[in-house]
Amino acid sequence: MRLQHFLVLPHQRVGDEERAAWPRERFLDRDDCADLAGAVQRRLGRGVPAPDLHDRVCAFMCNRQTALVDVGGVARRLQGVTQRIAGGLAEWVPRIHAPSGVLRVTATAEYAT
């Protein structure tokens, strides 16, 4: 497999000299982005026909990837947020002055593992 890449700078203009140890042909700047597909094709060539990849490449370029929710990751993030909120609650509740001496907190219980 041959992997090629470009550094795309849509808001900058790059001169003809090499930058950051990269050859100029690896940069696509503001002028190239006017015809991004054409610039890529001119630099890489037409490539090998692969109709099965067409829809995947178009979806990638249009930011339409299919993503699955990682339920475990969501649960870990939720647990972290819950712990931060509970920690904050334990820190600031003792500082609250209530003239009646009664403080009512409505919240969910934290499950400690």
Given pLDDT bands bounded at 50, 70 and 90, which one contains residue 1?
very low
| DSSP state string for 68-96 | ---HHHHHHHHHHHHHHHHHHHHHHGGG-
Judge whether 27 and 13 are in contact, CB under 8 Å. Answer: no
113 pLDDT exceeds 60? no
From CA 41, how far away is CA 7, in angstroms rounded? Answer: 15
The verdict on residue 87 lying in a domain is no
The verdict on residue 33 lying in a domain is yes
The verdict on residue 15 lying in a domain is yes
Closest CA to 38 of 30, 50, 46: 46
Tens of pLDDT, residue by residue over 47-66, are 777 877 778 777 877 888 77
Structurally, how many domains does the chain consist of? Answer: 1
Q: CA torsion, points 31, 32, 33, 36, in degrees to nearest 10?
A: 160
- Per-residue pLDDT at 24: 79
Tens of pLDDT, residue by residue over 22-52, are 787 888 888 888 888 888 888 888 777 787 7
